[in-house]
Amino acid sequence: MLIPIIAIAVVTKRLRSFRRSQDGSAAVEFAMIAPIFFALIFAVMETGLVFMAGQVLETGVEDGARLVYTSQTTNVTDFKAAICSRVSMLMDCTKLDIDVRSYDPGASISINDPIDASGKYVSNGFVYQPPAYSPNTPTSKTVVVRAFYQWPLYVTGLGYNIANIDRGTSTNKRLLAATAALGPQ
């Protein structure tokens, strides 16, 4: 009968000293906060990378649109190579979709959204229709150049989701879009 009472007293004493002890509390607190902290850091880094890639694509499309407007590129392969030389450090150029259209003066310009109502990316309506090439003669048409890239997202599994393609699935992505329109003045 004496042994269980002593055992209870020893256990109670150790629990009290464990409760008052501060040894290792910083490690425990860090272990509780670290996942949230690292998730936040990775989300900020991924968002910054997405916006930087979008800006690189925008700059590449602006430069490429000038080449189309001035008839320096006459086919889709040359045009895509011109954009790729500017964006290849961040993007896989084989996954870059191009849409180039030329419009007569005064014609209405309609630009459709490549993401359908269900959140799927639809790229089958893209064409390459630059204005007709005529040396040393500026075109009187308006040229609209668009490029799209499906950027993969990694931090979205942690609850942060900036996806606009297949949102909520394991294959969700962010569609980066860049548009440039040039016309006669």
Backbone angles phi, psi at 162, to 5 degrees: -110, 20
| pLDDT averaged over every residue in the chain | 83
SS3 144: strand
**171 or 150: whose pLDDT is higher?**
150
Nearest-angstrom CA–CA distance, 185 and 183: 6
The predicted model scores a pTM of 0.77
Residue 167 near residue 120 (C-beta atoms within 8 A): no
Q: Which residue has the higher pLDDT, 5 or 167?
A: 167
| 40-54, 85-99, 117-131: segment of lowest average pLDDT | 117-131
**6-20, 79-93, 97-111, 156-170: segment of lowest average pLDDT:** 6-20
Q: Which of 117, 179, 110, 112 is nearest to 149 (CA)?
A: 179
Instruction: Please report the pLDDT score of residue 62 as a whole number.
Output: 93
User: What's the pLDDT band for 26 if we cut at 50, 70, 90?
Assistant: confident
Give the lowest-confidence range in 37-51, 68-82, 133-147, 168-182: 133-147
CA distances for 54 relative to 49, 57, 59, 160, angstroms: 8, 5, 9, 19
Residue 37's CB is within 10 A of a number of other CB atoms, namely: 10
Identify the pLDDT of residue 138: 63
